[in-house]
A = this chain, B = another copy of it.
Amino acid sequence: MVDKAAIENAFVKFIKDYQDINGSDLFELDRAPTPLEFLQTCVLRNRPCLIRNAFNHWPARKTWTDEYLIRAMNGQNITVAVTPNGYADAVTLNPTTNKEYFVLPHEEQMTMDAFLKSLHASRCPDRDGALPPAYYISLQNGSLPLEYSQIAKDVDAEIPWCSEALQASPDAINFWFGNDRSITSLHKDPYENLYAVVRGSKTFILFPPSEFACMYESVYPAAQYQPNDQHGFDIVPQPNIKVPWIPVNPLQPDLKRYPRFKHAKPIIATVNEGEMLYLPALWFHQVLQQGEQGTIAVNYWYDMKMDTMLYPSIGLFRRLISNLVDAQPDLDLPDSDTDESPDRPS
């Protein structure tokens, strides 16, 4: 028999080895890399990188004002995530039952005009100091060509140096529009991600895959926000759906419940208007956004290469830490992953 603490210690040494070798600096490039440079600097190292001057030529850089977007979208309905607190797809305590759920946002169909009114109003508290719900365009089903075909021409259909380096076209391109009310909870994706900020700025709190053991990935019953008659939201369980997710909030980590999180060392990447972040596959990330007029971004998901040791390593970490040490059930996920699925179970 082996003491659980000995397994945890082995992971802590591993986490520190990786940190000692790599530090927590963010790589930066002042121009778009060549395909060779992109592999050398970014993909091969599986390290994040801030890239400047990579999409100055996009028409969107100039045209994507509120007025233009309303006009271009021409009254078409779009899908908007609505939450009481800005956390969509996050582990949330249901105060009624005192039980934690993975809570999906309420989704509303509305016009761009209506969205913009709700978005800007969401920053203004009412007379009692209470904030309205948070509105966030954050559908990740390749939303740009699906729901925003009218404005898709304002950005490139792929990132040429990335496509050439990875020998692939993007698997999905998503359109994001929100403000500082919305926060994306810590998670990871099995994609090489290029994240271009067109308006405002975003802050990414990034942790390498080696810090899996700090994240306390656990299995939660799924639920969804549903507006109620008291202008609030109920958390409505979705029967028979279980989701593995990360409960730690890096902004306020509960180190009593999640003591291994103290070994995690974030890289903080603030991505300003006109800058692009390379967010490597399987890096944990929490995302905040700034900008009074709202933050717009377009991200390109390229399928990650599964044929390295990185992908199966996450399965190993899960079996050793989540299942054996933390006694979490073994979901035996078909893709050995825990991602925000492009097809949400909503």
Contact = CB atoms under 8 A, between A and B. Distances in A.
Given A3-B1, A307-B45, A10 B313 contact: no
Contacts of A13: 315-316, 319
Interface residues of A, number: 47
Contacts of A167: 40
20 contacts: A1-B1, A1-B2, A1-B3, A2-B2, A2-B325, A10-B324, A13-B319, A14-B312, A14-B313, A14-B316, A17-B311, A17-B315, A21-B306, A21-B311, A35-B36, A39-B40, A39-B44, A47-B307, A309-B309, A309-B313
A307 B2 contact: no
A326 to B, nearest CB: 11
A308 interface: yes
A338 to B, nearest CB: 15
A46 B313 CA distance: 14
Contacts of A46: 308-309
A44 B316 contact: no
Given A44-B305, A324-B6, A11 B316 contact: yes
A322 to B, nearest CB: 11
Contacts of A209: 309
Contacts of A228: none
A43 interface: yes
Interface of A: 1-4, 6-7, 9-11, 13-14, 17-18, 21-22, 35-36, 39-40, 43-47, 164-165, 167, 208-210, 305-313, 315-316, 319-320, 323-325, 336
A309 B310 contact: yes
For chain A, what secondary structure do more than half of its interface residues adopt (helix, strand, loop), or is it mixed? helix
A306 B46 CA distance: 12
B2 A7 contact: yes
A310 B312 CA distance: 12
Contact of A40 (B6, B18, B165, B208): B165
A44 B306 CA distance: 11
Nearest to A166: B40
Given A4-B2, A40-B165, A320-B320, A208 B309 contact: yes
B320 A10 contact: yes
Nearest to A16: B312
A40 B315 CA distance: 24
Nearest 8 pairs of A and B residues by beta carbon: A10-B319, A17-B312, A14-B316, A1-B1, A39-B39, A18-B312, A36-B36, A2-B2
Most buried by B among A35, A44, A311: A44
Contacts of A45: 305, 307-308
A7 B4 contact: no
A144 to B, nearest CB: 27
Given A36-B165, A210-B309, A14 B315 contact: yes
